[in-house]
Chain A
Amino acid sequence: MPVPGHQPPPFFKRGLPLSAKLTIYLALSLALLVADLRLRYLDTLRQGVAILTYPLQIAAATPAEFVRNTGNYFSGLVGLQRENERLSVSQLEAAQELLRLEQLKAENAQLRGLLDMRARVKVSSIAAEILFTARDPFSHRVILDKGTSQGVAPGLAVVDAAGVIGQVTRTFPLHSEVTLLSDKEQAIPVVVARSGLRAVMFGTGTGLMELRFLAANADVQVGDQILTSGLDGVFVPGLPVATVVRADGDTGESFGRIICKPIGGVAKNGSVLVLGRAEPLPERPAAENASPERSAAGRIGRKQSEPESQP
């Protein structure tokens, strides 16, 4: 109850005091943070704001790209000729493989039919371009120029010419965010090509990846190629992911320390393919103890044990 004469008369409209405003806005931002990080409620808000910010982002990215491409433009002819030569050679090689692929496919289908196995999943793919690297220094993400309107959905695998580079984690109407495999929060179920050993590969945040939860005496050698296993039902099986660069078996711990290097390089501006399964997976068998669903597999947040190793 204000006592007359004890408060300044309201000559000037000042609004709320600074501290009250600070409290309100801090509470709002903290609520946003919690809602986004813990509860993941804010996808619609994010998409709404993205509609406003995306034109600005493109406005900012276009001159930057122009500056970057000017050098290429003038260094032109010789480089292009060389690239053309290289591409035609690689296409010849690929064509030869492709010719055999048709035959192999037919043969594979026939053999699978003989063995009474389910047909391999069909793959749908969307070609996309990496627009730029997201500027968040705490994660490894790139932005693609295709979004939900072109059929990109969260969880799809993203590959370049050499191998898997990451997974679509957020989609917007016209663009999408891809979390690279080297991100600290990214995990991918894999299989060691040589030994058929299955494992989960985690990003370390430094550009390399680690095969965790493999026994110290697991059959992994330096130089082994790592492929996707497809066990998650998200990634297509058999895509090359990484090569082993270090395998310390005798660390004195129960798990070995196996470091891998990604095969798919992320060039500054590259073309990539977004791969998805064309058909949905069959129903999972009901587990005895109810396990959480894995809609976007690969996120560490959902703790579910993958088969550790197959002797």
Chain B
Amino acid sequence: MINHRSSRILLPVRIGFIWISLAIALVLHFVPIGRFYAVPDFVALVLAFWCVREPRLVGMGTAFLLGVAVDVAHGAAMGQHALAYVALAFACASMSRRLLWFSPAIQALHMVPLFLMVQLIMLVVRLMAGGRFPGWEYFFATFTTAALWLPVHYLLLLPQMRPVDRDENRPI
């Protein structure tokens, strides 16, 4: 279902807001929750969002740095999250033109395979390094992350929205 209505005109994004949102995602990702796998991967979510919305500002370099930070904080293998996030950033950037035609709900559906790819890359890396398969509930995070796409979409676009003022004489 392609949305042919023109989308809302947004203010330009502020770079500071992008960085703050990524930092908040990082802190949320560091919240110790023990072995509860269904918690969404906030960093992947916010990173994917900005890679889709602003592929010129946020890309694989940001993904790499965030990945290394998450690796160190989680005590994971160095480069594990970095690898997965770089692949995610690439996929989002190359799909961005197409994805933006869809409504946020359909976009969320498109994000499921991408988040699944992130999880799979990490799983393969760790299994090759001799890790233990953590069980199928490991993949819950994919779906919870994708489900959060819709609220996060509105939340992160909120600072760019302008009040709707109906003016019949304005050209756009």
Interface set of A (CB-CB < 8 Å, partner B): 18, 21-22, 25-26, 28-33, 35-37, 42, 45-46, 49-50, 52-54, 56-57, 59-61, 63-64, 131-139, 141, 143, 170, 177, 184-185, 205-206, 268
Residues 127-146 of B, flagged 1 when their CB comes within 8 A of A and 0 if not, give: 00111101000100000000
Contacts of A45 in B (CB 8 A): 78
Tell me whether chain B's interface is mostly helix, strand or loop, or mixed.
Answer: helix
In B51-102, the 8 Å CB interface with A consists of 59-61, 63-64, 67-69, 72-80, 82-83, 86-87, 90, 93-94
Contact B64 A56, beta carbon cutoff 8 Å: no
Interface set of B (CB-CB < 8 Å, partner A): 23, 26-35, 37, 59-61, 63-64, 67-69, 72-80, 82-83, 86-87, 90, 93-94, 125-126, 129-132, 134, 138
Contact B132 A61, beta carbon cutoff 8 Å: no
Contacts of A170 in B (CB 8 A): 75
Contact B34 A21, beta carbon cutoff 8 Å: no
Contact A132 B34, beta carbon cutoff 8 Å: yes
Contacts of B73 in A (CB 8 A): 50, 53-54, 56-57
Contact A35 B32, beta carbon cutoff 8 Å: no
A-B pairs under 8 A by CB, number: 128
Residue of B nearest to A47 (CB): B72
Contact A29 B83, beta carbon cutoff 8 Å: yes
Contact A33 B80, beta carbon cutoff 8 Å: yes
Contact B75 A143, beta carbon cutoff 8 Å: yes
Residue of B nearest to A12 (CB): B56
A54 vs B72: C-alpha distance in the bound complex, in angstroms?
A: 9
Shortest A154–chain B CB gap in Å is 13
Contact B77 A29, beta carbon cutoff 8 Å: no
A-B residue pairs, 6 tightest by C-beta: A132-B32, A32-B79, A36-B78, A205-B132, A138-B131, A33-B79
Contact B134 A138, beta carbon cutoff 8 Å: yes
Task: List 7 extra interface pairs beyond A29-B64, A52-B69, A134-B74, CB under 8 A.
Answer: A50-B73, A53-B72, A53-B73, A135-B33, A143-B75, A170-B75, A205-B132
